[in-house]
């Protein structure tokens, strides 16, 4: 059991979230409320029935339900309400800064316009006391041509997002499939990230780094299968945005006791803790920290390191980053 002091520290320490899919923050209650508001028919009869379907065997079994849940989002206010609800939970967990993924193709393919998506999410970010920026993710199960069309549609709103990412079904859709669109995003000065090494092999982490030239790896937990890659990630201080509860729910590890986040830290990798899709995986940021610290021999020094890593790996101006790091150190000096 976690001692009370450590639990309080995990809850109260300032932290950044760097891996959250905003569509994955849609709670079943909000899905049903939006379905009713928009006259969308769902395949599930009640909140309980929907929640009961959240028994995943792998990434794809989750994605099928996640895309169905997102079908209730039609109007700008829907995107606003979803994002505002997430930011309120983040604030309660003492998240000071968050970099939010959104999947425009999930919506544009249903006829929702890009401005509706981006303006709704962005406006909620502006109205929150939590510092929040946006990262547009391309769906890797779709073609690179579709990603290019999506990028072009988003460029009129270039000032409203800071980077691009790559998500959805990993195995069979390697990073190099998106070499051209990422090269274009790089020219545009966008930050670059990609999911790699969640279910996919270490080879995908290599191509995310060398072909896409990403600045962070989302998940990346399979890097430990390759000692040379592990050593490289540590040497380059390439951050991994690890999502412990997600990894358990999607059966990347059988049990939290088997999660490798402590091994990553011991290998000197800049690992961070994140929620991924909190409405689907049983918890927001502090739930992730608590579940991880309950299962593994992690203590105060690890908590401080993880809080520092979250800001060190954030896409923030140097002065602002330093301010957050000082805030973490001041917090731990009083513990």
> What's the order of all strands across the beta sheet hosting 239-242?
15-21, 95-102, 131-139, 163-167, 191-196, 216-219, 239-242, 271-273
* 17 vs 276, beta carbon nearer Zn ion: 276
Residues of span 263-282 touching Zn ion by CB under 5 A: 276
Residues 247 and 19: beta-carbon distance below 8 Å: no
Q: Are 111 and 153 in contact (CB under 8 A)?
A: no
Q: What is the three-class DSSP state of 173?
A: coil
Measured from the CB atom, the residue of 217 and 303 that comes closer to ligand ADE is 217
- First and final CA of the chain: distance in angstroms? 19
Cβ contact 73:82 at 8 Å: yes
Give min distance, CB of 83 to ligand ADE, in A.
Answer: 15
Tell me the angle at which helices 144-154 and 179-187 cross, rounded to the nearest 10 degrees: 20
Q: Does 23 bind Zn ion (CB under 5 A)?
A: no
Region class of 39: left (phi > 0), else alpha (psi between -120 and 50), else beta: left
Binding site for ligand ADE (CB under 6 A): 21, 24, 59, 66, 167-168, 195, 198, 246, 276-277
* Residue 198 interacting entry, from ligand ADE, Zn ion, none, C-beta within 5 to 8 Å by type: ligand ADE
276 among annotated binding-site residues: yes
* Nearer to Zn ion among residue 74 and residue 89 (C-beta): 89
Residue number with the smallest Cβ distance to ligand ADE = 167
Using Cβ positions, the residue closest to Zn ion within the complex turns out to be 276
Q: Does the annotation list 107 as a binding residue?
A: no
Q: Is the CB of residue 232 less than 8 Å from the CB of residue 262? A: no
User: Whose structure tokens read 């600045």?
Assistant: 215
261 binds, options Zn ion, ligand ADE, none, Cβ within 5 to 8 A by partner type? none
Query: Minimum Å distance from CB 243 to Zn ion?
Result: 6
Strand (E) positions, 201-244?
216-219, 239-242
* Residue closer to ligand ADE (CB basis): 20 or 265: 20
Per partner kind, with CB cut-offs from 5 to 8 A, the member of ligand ADE, Zn ion, none near residue 102 is none
The partner in contact with residue 81, picked from Zn ion, ligand ADE, none with C-beta cut-offs of 5 to 8 angstroms by kind, is: none
Say if residue 19 carries a ligand binding annotation.
Answer: yes
Task: Report the SS3 class of residue 335.
Answer: coil
Name the residue nearer to ligand ADE (CB basis): 120 or 220.
Answer: 220
Catalytic center residues = 198
Q: How far is the CB of 171 from ligand ADE (least distance, A)?
A: 11
Please list, residue by residue across 174-210, b when 16 or more beta carbons sit within 10 angstroms of its beta carbon and e when fewer do: bbbbbeebbeebeeeebbbbbbbbbbbebbbbbbbbe
CB atoms within 10 A of CB 7: 16
Q: How far is the CB of 195 from ligand ADE (least distance, A)?
A: 5
Helix, strand, coil % (nearest 5) of the chain?
A: 60, 15, 30
277 annotated ligand binder: yes
Q: If contact means CB under 5 to 8 A according to the sort of partner, which of ligand ADE, Zn ion, none does residue 168 touch?
A: ligand ADE
Q: Is 259 marked within a binding site?
A: no
Q: How far is the CB of 167 from Zn ion (least distance, A)?
A: 5
Residues near Zn ion (CB under 5 A):
276
- Binding-site members for Zn(2+) are 19, 21, 195, 276
- Binding-site members for substrate are 277
- Binding-site members are 19, 21, 195, 276-277
């Amino acid at each position: 059991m976690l001692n009370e002091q450590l639990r309080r520290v995990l809850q109260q320490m300032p932290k950044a979230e760097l891996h959250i899919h905003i569509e994955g923050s849609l709670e079943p209650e909000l899905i049903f409320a939006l379905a009713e508001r928009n006259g969308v028919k769902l395949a599930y009869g009640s909140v309980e029935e929907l929640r009961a379907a959240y028994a995943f065997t792998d990434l794809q079994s989750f994605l099928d339900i996640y895309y169905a849940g997102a079908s209730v989002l039609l109007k700008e206010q829907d995107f606003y309400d979803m994002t505002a609800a997430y930011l309120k939970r983040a604030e309660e967990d003492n998240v000071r800064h968050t970099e939010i993924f959104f999947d425009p193709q999930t919506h544009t393919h249903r006829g929702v316009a890009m401005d509706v998506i981006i303006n709704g999410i962005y406006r909620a970010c502006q109205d929150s006391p939590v510092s929040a920026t946006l990262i547009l993710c391309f769906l890797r199960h779709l073609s690179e041509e579709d990603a290019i069309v999506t990028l072009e549609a988003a460029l009129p709103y270039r000032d409203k997002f800071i980077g691009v990412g790559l998500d959805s079904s990993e195995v069979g859709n390697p990073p190099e499939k998106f070499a051209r669109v990422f090269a274009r995003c790089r020219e545009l000065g966008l930050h670059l990230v990609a999911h790699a090494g969640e279910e996919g092999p270490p080879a995908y982490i290599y191509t995310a780094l060398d072909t896409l030239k990403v600045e962070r790896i989302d998940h990346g937990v399979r890097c430990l299968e390759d000692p040379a890659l592990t050593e490289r990630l540590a040497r380059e201080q390439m951050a991994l945005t690890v999502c412990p509860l997600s990894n358990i729910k999607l059966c990347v590890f059988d049990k939290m006791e088997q999660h490798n986040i402590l091994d990553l830290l011991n290998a000197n990798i800049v690992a961070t803790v994140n929620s991924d899709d909190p409405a689907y995986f049983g918890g927001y940021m502090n739930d992730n920290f608590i579940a991880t610290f309950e299962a593994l021999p992690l203590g105060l020094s690890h908590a401080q390191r993880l809080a520092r890593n979250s800001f060190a790996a954030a896409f923030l101006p140097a002065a602002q980053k330093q301010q957050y790091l000082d805030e973490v150190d001041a917090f731990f000096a009083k513990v």
